[in-house]
Chains A and B, each alone.
Chain A
Amino acid sequence: MVAKSGKDRKLVLVPNYIVSELMEIANKKGQPFYNFVADTLEQALGVYSSGSTLKDVVRSHEFMELYKSSGARVVSDDLYNYLIDKAYETEEKVLQDKMLMFGRRCGRTLSAKYADPVGALKDFLLTAGWNLNDVSISKEKDIVSIRCASPILSMESTLLLFKFIDGLMNELGHVSQKQDSAKGILSLKYGKA
């Protein structure tokens, strides 16, 4: 896999197509190929040393682009929970509809960008940072089971999360078959529409 090549250089075995594409990128940047590879590996090592992988970085970037283009904004969770608690009592339906539509917009883009959008769903949900510390998604034949848990999610936020997932799954061609929810816990089953 690796061989010595001249002073301070080593050879690493890499698939042809990756080398060709990297060469193209280096040319586009007007950077010598050797230097470009060194920069790239340095950046990758920086990521690995923080306990992540470049795959995590790229996936996070893709999901954030998707969230941003679907109209997501950032707010502190403390304020979000407060705003929801305050508005939920009188505007439950409006808030739920907005979350459903947000889920639909995300689902539409997710299905356009990913060959297996249901497979990408777990990381997609965790990227949003809704204090979810447990997300599991399994698929058996046409049934998709989704389980989300967070010890600190309020009942209102849990129900809004359900609406988001519902909108998203609808866009992915699935309809709700079973829904169990309690404060901070969602257990959902979806079948093909």
Chain B
Amino acid sequence: MKRKMLAAREDLVNQVSEVANRGGLTLFGVANEALEQIVKLDKSGMRISDAVREYEVLKAARDAGFVLVPEGLLYDAMDKAYREGKTWMMKKWVESGEWCGKYYSVKESEDKLQRLFEDLRGFFWNAEDFELSRKGDNAVSVRCASARFPESYTVFLGSFLEGVLGVLGYKCVQRDVVKGFLELEFETIKGGSATDGGEVR
């Protein structure tokens, strides 16, 4: 195989060399694997920064107890649960959201709410629109929409988000939920501090 010398920043080459040493590998092996993967990513139309971010989101999803499920199975099972035990099921989704919110509240991050929403946007890729807007220091609104969401999933997702934000110190003060669209308005709970994940409920 023909080879060429590639000029790179000395500090970076030294760091790659350290990585290689730690893993019992060669600089040639590690640098080439990395560069080869960049070429592969480019061929699939993806930037390395996006792929790394997606990888982190997926890892966070797995760590936070999320799994992949076929859409048809998920929606059918939820429709059934919605018909037969809506209130009970909504409570389960709130609990699941609370767990997720708690998980993020103890994670190291400068802006826990923003970090959480960036990851949630990654988890819920089936949503065509998933936005978090801050309204001053004490209020946030969340909007989520997808034409494919059945009513059951939209309602349960709303409950999940209420659970998530509840743990982070926000109370839902207004909800607009219809099939495929939800918009929730939250305000900080009086006496509690938002996003510390502490005893605010």
Are the C-beta atoms of A74 and B33 separated by less than 8 Å? no
Name which residue of chain B comes closest to A38, CB basis.
B9
Question: Secondary structure at chain B's binding surface: helix, strand, loop or mixed?
Answer: helix
Q: For the complex, give the distance between the alpha carbons of A63 and B77 in Å.
A: 25
Q: For the complex, give the distance between the alpha carbons of A90 and B81 in Å.
A: 12
Q: For the complex, give the distance between the alpha carbons of A135 and B34 in Å.
A: 27
Are the C-beta atoms of B80 and A91 separated by less than 8 Å? yes
Are the C-beta atoms of A129 and B6 separated by less than 8 Å? no
Query: Is A115 at the interface (CB under 8 A from chain B)?
Result: no
Report B-chain residues with C-beta under 8 Å of the C-beta of A37.
6-8, 35
Query: Is A146 at the interface (CB under 8 A from chain B)?
Result: no
Report B-chain residues with C-beta under 8 Å of the C-beta of A55.
33, 37
Query: Is A177 at the interface (CB under 8 A from chain B)?
Result: no
Instruction: Tell me which of A57, A75, A95 contacts B66 (CB under 8 A).
Output: A75
Q: For the complex, give the distance between the alpha carbons of A40 and B36 in Å.
A: 11
Report B-chain residues with C-beta under 8 Å of the C-beta of A68.
125
B66 to chain A, nearest CB (A): 5
Number of residues on chain B facing chain A (CB within 8 A)? 75
Are the C-beta atoms of B8 and A10 separated by less than 8 Å? yes
Instruction: Tell me which of B4, B12, B26, B73 contacts A41 (CB under 8 A).
Output: B12
Number of residues on chain A facing chain B (CB within 8 A)? 77
Are the C-beta atoms of B58 and A15 separated by less than 8 Å? no
Query: Is A8 at the interface (CB under 8 A from chain B)?
Result: yes
Interface residues of B in 1-30 (CB under 8 A from A): 1-17, 19, 26-28, 30
B-to-A contact residues, CB < 8 Å = 1-17, 19, 26-28, 30-42, 44, 46, 48-49, 51-52, 54-56, 58, 61-62, 64-74, 76-78, 80-81, 84-85, 92-93, 95-96, 99-100, 123-126, 160
- Which 10 pairs, one residue from A and one from B, show the smallest C-beta to C-beta distance? A102-B70, A83-B77, A44-B34, A54-B37, A11-B5, A129-B62, A10-B13, A98-B73, A16-B2, A72-B68
A-to-B contact residues, CB < 8 Å = 1-3, 5-6, 8-16, 18-19, 21-22, 25, 28, 34, 37-38, 40-50, 52-58, 60-62, 64-65, 67-68, 70-80, 82-84, 86-87, 90-91, 94-95, 98-99, 101-102, 127-131
